[in-house]
Structure 1
Amino acid sequence: MTGFKYIYSLILTGMVLLSCNTRKDVYLFTSFNEPASAGLRLLYSHDAYHWTDLNHIFIKPEVGDAKIMRDPSIQQGPDGVYHLVWTIGWKNDTGIGYAESKDLIHWSAEQHLNVMANEPTAVNAWAPELFYDDVADQFIITWASTVPFRFPKGEEDENNNHRLYYTTTKDFKTFAPAKLFLDPGFSVIDPEIVKFDKGKYVLVMKDNTRPNRNILVAFSNNPLGPYTDYSKRFTELYSEGPTITKTGDNWLIYYDSYRLKKFGCMRTSDFKTFTNIADSVSVPQGHKHGTIFKVTEKTLKQLKLAAATPVNQ
């Protein structure tokens, strides 16, 4: 019995050590509140379903004529650095904002990246999204822009006839010239790339045509496309700003149901069938278009401490 108790004790000790060393991820949701002049907010969740606002501005917008920060997107690189891009204006600005941080609290000087500089008639650059391509070891930045009279349009105004564009970078110092990322044959905005299986990618986006204005997905074997096999529109009218995270075997697609003034959520395991679980999630009132990523409990603790410190200290 003594030998059995000793072995049992070793097993229990090993289980405790394994539990202590297991990384517990926390979900963070980038956010802004209208009128978008305040800056970056962050929500957090331990289960990806129920969200709490840290109620703090982590970086204020300083670049662009409008001095706003809409649609903030954060992606952590393999070196641990967090990269942030955002929309800096509704129109008459073909650039996006950029800053980086090692801890999400202290940020570099903000930069204005004129991503559509090679398109002199472009009118905007909306909702940039970051994706780290671990195969090519580079970041992909996607966004929506209108180049008037470039593409056929439906009922939209010519200055609201968007297509998706992209650039790539390895260091956020040099960037490839912007290229067309997707022309699905209709006005499209709010792209987000997801690697959902080895060698398989999903593009979640908003059909921005006047009859639709809702969310769909398409598929590719390469993050840069081409994307095919478009899904049906699976959210209600007047929904936009989709972002995706995985919990267990399911993917959650959050989106701004802006006419209903709340966030919706769809659950899927295969990006083929979708279940509306909006009644099972809770997102703070006023939260707007952002993206979800994961951090450690230690990072969340540091963010909470920063959020509790007065701005002037």
Structure 2
Amino acid sequence: MENTKEPFYGYLFAHFIGEQEDGEQIYFALSQDGLHWQDLHQNQPVLRSTIGEKGVRDPYLLRSNDGNKFYLMATDLSIYHRGGWQESQATVTGSHSLIIWESSDLINWSEPRMVEVAPKETGCAWAPEAIYDEEEDDYLVFWASSIVASNGKEKGLHIYASKTRDFRTFTPSELYITRGEHRTIIDTTIMKAGGMYYRASGDGQITIESSERLMGEWKIISTLESLGLGLTGKDVEGPEFFKFNGEEKWGLLVDQYGTNRGYLPLVTTNIGDTTGKCWRKPAADEYSFGRLKKRHGTVMPVTKSEYDAILAKWG
């Protein structure tokens, strides 16, 4: 559980905005309901990476299990500095490191540090996330890395994972999820709900799986298409789970990269539902992501005092 002495009040969104100068840095937004967002810091980055590729994407924000620390991880990648996607070769020559910041109050942040996690034979380390493993009393950190198939020609992306207790030292990475050596799976997000773990990943669909244990057997239970939401991996990417405060309701944010329309929130009262009856796509007038286009980001519940402090600092 995320431990705080106060009840949760609102939500903090960390994200990047795109492939432009200063676009691949960390931006913050706040919300009281998880659906309507206020951009902070006069639409400027709150944190900048000055190391590695000097740009970060796909941030993930985590409250430590004891509630005393926050960790912010991101992909070490700047498509802007690489000259655009066409020139970038990002899956072949990408950084093997994650960029990590830490804080005790969400206001004062450490300098960014690089932690090498991806296996030597891979081509990148993308879209990191982490979740506390109650069985092992450590954190499972996972990301996507590319590897050339055994025929030496085709390349797939697979999810690799490592364990850590302090986000400084990590166990050697291991393959965590694959759809086969020629296929790609990316952008995994994991949530615990009702005693089960659920993960959503981009693998041509946005596919949802369930398991009783983080390191146990997982089974595919649905896709956003099978749930009747009319969304495939051609339409959306970057799935991100979060829980609504004070109710049995979860959000799954997906980035509508296919139409360049930014984020779409999906809402469910049961992630494990396979019929689609518990899932809903809110109407366009039920949510607002603010002025900045939010790209692959992360939502974390915050208390009233945390919310007020963030607003006072960057509002």
Q: Settle same-fold status: TM greater than 0.5.
A: yes
Of residues 278, 289, 294, the one that matches 2:296 is: 289
Indicate if the aligned counterparts of 1:265 and 1:278 stay in contact, CA closer than 8 A: no
Indicate if the aligned counterparts of 1:75 and 1:132 stay in contact, CA closer than 8 A: no
Residue 282 of structure 1, CA deviation = 1.4
Write out aligned runs for 1:231-270 (5 A): 231-234=222-225, 235-236=231-232, 237-247=234-244, 248-260=247-259, 261-270=261-270
Residues 102-133 of structure 1: CA deviation (Å, up to 9, x unaligned): 122221122111101xx322111110012122
Tell me which moved more, 271-280 or 128-137.
271-280
Residue 223 of structure 2 aligns to a residue whose secondary structure is coil
Indicate if the aligned counterparts of 1:84 and 1:100 stay in contact, CA closer than 8 A: yes
Residues 90-110 of structure 1: CA deviation (Å, up to 9, x unaligned): 342111111111122221122
2:15 match = 31
Counterpart AA for 2:250? W
What is the count of residue pairs matched by the alignment?
274
Of residues 52, 58, 75, the one that matches 2:62 is: 75
2:107 match = 105
1:204 partnered with 2:200: yes
Residues 151 and 44 of structure 1: CA distance in aligned 2, closer, same or farther (over 3 Å): farther
Residue 99 of structure 1 aligns to a residue whose secondary structure is strand
Of residues 298, 301, 308, the one that matches 1:301 is: 308
Larger radius of gyration: 1
Counterpart AA for 2:313? A
Amino-acid identity (%): 26
Counterpart AA for 1:225? G
Counterpart AA for 1:249? E
Counterpart AA for 2:123? V
Matches of 1:150 and 1:262, distance apart in 2: 36
Indicate if the aligned counterparts of 1:82 and 1:102 stay in contact, CA closer than 8 A: yes
Matches of 1:84 and 1:256, distance apart in 2: 20
Indicate if the aligned counterparts of 1:31 and 1:71 stay in contact, CA closer than 8 A: yes
Indicate if the aligned counterparts of 1:56 and 1:307 stay in contact, CA closer than 8 A: no
Indicate if the aligned counterparts of 1:97 and 1:112 stay in contact, CA closer than 8 A: yes
Matches of 2:313 and 2:151, distance apart in 1: 47
Counterpart AA for 1:80? N
TM-score normalised according to structure 2 size: 0.80
Matches of 1:238 and 1:151, distance apart in 2: 30
Write out aligned runs for 1:1-313 (5 A): 23-35=7-19, 37-38=22-23, 39-54=25-40, 55-64=43-52, 66-77=53-64, 78-89=66-77, 90-91=90-91, 92=93, 93-116=95-118, 119-150=119-150, 158-159=154-155, 161-185=156-180, 186-198=183-195, 200-207=196-203, 212=204, 214-234=205-225, 235-236=231-232, 237-247=234-244, 248-260=247-259, 261-271=261-271, 272=273, 273=276, 274-279=279-284, 280-284=286-290, 285-308=292-315
Residues 9-57 of structure 1: CA deviation (Å, up to 9, x unaligned): xxxxxxxxxxxx9734211111111126452111111111211111342
Residue 266 of structure 2 aligns to a residue whose secondary structure is strand
Counterpart AA for 1:101? S
Residues 22 and 145 of structure 1: CA distance in aligned 2, closer, same or farther (over 3 Å): closer
Indicate if the aligned counterparts of 2:9 and 2:307 stay in contact, CA closer than 8 A: no
Residue 225 of structure 1, CA deviation = 3.4
Indicate if the aligned counterparts of 1:30 and 1:73 stay in contact, CA closer than 8 A: yes
Indicate if the aligned counterparts of 2:10 and 2:301 stay in contact, CA closer than 8 A: yes
2:82 match = none
| Structure 2: tracts of 5 or more residues without a match | 78-89, 226-230
Residue 29 of structure 1 aligns to a residue whose secondary structure is strand
Counterpart AA for 1:72? P
Indicate if the aligned counterparts of 2:8 and 2:301 stay in contact, CA closer than 8 A: no
TM-score normalised according to structure 1 size: 0.81
Larger relative helix fraction:
1
Residue 283 of structure 1, CA deviation = 1.2
Residues 152-183 of structure 1: CA deviation (Å, up to 9, x unaligned): 9xxxx834x11101011112232111001111
Residues 22 and 101 of structure 1: CA distance in aligned 2, closer, same or farther (over 3 Å): closer
Residues 85 and 270 of structure 1: CA distance in aligned 2, closer, same or farther (over 3 Å): same
